[in-house]
């Protein structure tokens, strides 16, 4: 038994190490070395952009083969436990428990996926781990199975935990209803609420407990509403002296302290004057626009998530900011209409902060063809991905075939921000002018 126990402990240690290496591959390095690794990766991205621009006939080579000067990586003010949002899966653990709540190691292609508890992850706060442990305890006592593969049945699925520096905690549980009727669903929701309010889960002190019935991998509020089982409908965060309301599916930078440093730099790079209009594309709950509203004459925000726009409007009103307007809808539908008839003589500065999928081509085209936009800040969490396509579209020569009639932009400065310590990822701010 001692040998079996030792072997089991060794296997678990190996799996835990694999998870840490997969999710936070730089966790073994001293933080200054992490920053150097990230600087080198961003340098290669700018070299690639310079080469791609050269292929388009644009003389973009700067010292070091970069397309523009690259500043050192701005470090994160918090290195461990910085995440304010974590997503946990439910699947088989290393011990075979099909109701393990954690993060994946392995791939579907290799058919070697295992779900490992995240207790040792350095980028995750203890509160997130506590809620995940309680959720696992709850579903292990439930007669309902976990939903590992949709077509094989089962119900219990993902857990999302969001926390704020104000001490608020929101838990969002995703549930596959399968063939359950409304009465059975109501029973499960009541059990879940009781567990987290008066049962063992009460130790989590949840501010908000949400439940979402979903038959898809990802489901928006519009597709399947988030159902509030307990507590307040929103959690609140403070950033740069402002208070922000956050809905369950609203975007908020995962590193709050890092976001403050990022937004302060964005404000400086905008070089906005009192008569400037700030165009905040993919504005989320309005964090960037509202934090810069005091510098400009007007902020115009565009965001696809309706609830996030409701948050942005509430945030503006609560903070006494009256020079902002927010538009709900896909940027590729809203922005061309906004800019097509733009006749305002005031300087127009654009800030874009899209998802990893980058900007839709129609958004880039609308920006290119609006001559009033002379300065553009592109914030990307994956500049080597689809954002690279956007960079080339912004900088390429005019192309009538693609309806790119506007003067091209030029990259003039790049600043990486370490929003994700222990990982290989960086948030890159690229300043374009024309």
- Where in the sequence numbering do the catalytic residues fall? 381
Number of H helices, E strands in the chain: 10, 16
Q: Is 33 annotated as a binding residue?
A: no
| The token pair that represents 73 in the structure block | 């990586």
- 23-26 long-range contacts (CB < 8 A, ≥24 apart) are 23/103, 23/121, 23/123, 23/423, 24/121, 24/122, 24/123, 24/422, 24/423, 25/422, 25/423, 25/424, 26/421, 26/422, 26/423, 26/424
The backbone region for 20, taken as left when phi is positive above 0, alpha when psi lies in -120 to 50, beta otherwise, is alpha
Three-state SS at 158: strand
Binding residue per annotation — 303?
yes
Burial (CB count <10 Å: 0-12, 13-18, 19+), residue 423: middle
The span from the CA of 114 to the CA of 92, in Å, is: 6
Cβ–Cβ under 8 Å, residues 42 and 20: no
DSSP E strands: which ranges in 10-147? 85-91, 100-105, 114-116
Beta strands in 269-370 (DSSP E): 277-281, 298-303, 324-328, 348-352
Does residue 185 contact residue 227 with C-beta atoms inside 8 Å? Answer: no
What are the CA-CA distances from residue 195 to residues 127, 147, 188, 380, 394 (Å)? 17, 20, 11, 40, 52
Residue 253 marked ligand-binding? yes
Q: How many CB atoms lie within 10 A of CB 188?
A: 18
Identify the CA nearest to 192 among candidates 232, 137, 127. Answer: 137
What are the E-state strand segments in 22-126? 85-91, 100-105, 114-116
For the annotated binding site, the residues are 253, 303, 353
Residue numbers in the known binding site for S-adenosyl-L-methionine are 253, 303, 353
């Amino acid at each position: 038994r001692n040998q079996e126990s030792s072997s089991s402990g060794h296997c678990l240690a190996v799996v835990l190490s694999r998870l840490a290496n997969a999710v936070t591959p730089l966790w073994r390095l001293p933080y200054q070395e992490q920053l150097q690794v990230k600087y080198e990766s961003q340098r290669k991205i700018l070299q690639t952009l310079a080469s791609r621009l050269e292929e388009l006939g644009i003389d973009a080579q700067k010292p070091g083969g970069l397309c523009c000067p690259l500043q050192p990586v701005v470090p994160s003010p918090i290195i461990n436990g910085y995440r304010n949002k974590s997503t946990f899966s439910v699947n088989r653990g290393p011990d075979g428990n099909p109701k393990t709540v954690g993060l994946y190691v392995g791939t579907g292609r290799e058919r070697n996926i295992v779900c490992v508890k995240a207790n040792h992850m350095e980028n995750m706060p203890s509160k997130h781990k506590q809620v995940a442990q309680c959720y696992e305890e709850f579903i292990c006592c439930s007669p309902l199975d976990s939903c590992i593969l949709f077509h094989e049945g089962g119900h219990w699925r993902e857990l999302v935990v969001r926390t704020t520096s104000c001490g608020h905690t929101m838990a969002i549980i995703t549930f596959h209803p399968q063939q359950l009727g409304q009465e059975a669903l109501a029973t499960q929701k009541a059990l879940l609420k009781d567990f987290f309010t008066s049962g063992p889960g009460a130790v989590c002190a949840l501010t908000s407990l949400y439940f979402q019935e979903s038959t898809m991998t990802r489901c928006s509020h519009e597709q399947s509403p988030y159902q509030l089982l307990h507590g307040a409908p929103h959690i609140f965060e403070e950033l740069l002296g402002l208070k922000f309301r956050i809905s369950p599916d609203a975007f908020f930078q995962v590193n709050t302290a890092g976001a403050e440093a990022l937004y302060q730099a964005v404000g400086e790079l905008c070089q906005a004057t009192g008569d400037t209009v700030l165009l905040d594309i993919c504005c989320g709950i309005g964090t960037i626009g509202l934090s810069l509203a005091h510098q400009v004459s007007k902020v115009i925000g565009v965001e696809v998530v309706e609830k996030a726009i409701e948050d942005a409007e509430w945030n503006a009103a609560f903070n006494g900011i009256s020079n902002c307007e927010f538009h709900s809808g896909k940027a590729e539908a809203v922005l061309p209409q906004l800019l097509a008839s733009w006749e305002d003589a005031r300087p127009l500065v654009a800030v874009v902060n899209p998802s990893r999928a980058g900007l839709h081509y129609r958004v880039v085209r609308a920006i290119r063809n609006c001559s009033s936009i002379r300065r553009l800040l592109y914030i990307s969490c994956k500049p080597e991905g689809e954002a690279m396509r956007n960079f080339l579209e912004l900088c390429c020569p005019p192309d009538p075939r693609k309806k790119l009639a506007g003067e091209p932009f030029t990259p003039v400065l790049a600043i990486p921000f370490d929003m994700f310590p222990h990982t290989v990822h960086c948030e890159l701010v690229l300043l374009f002018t024309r």
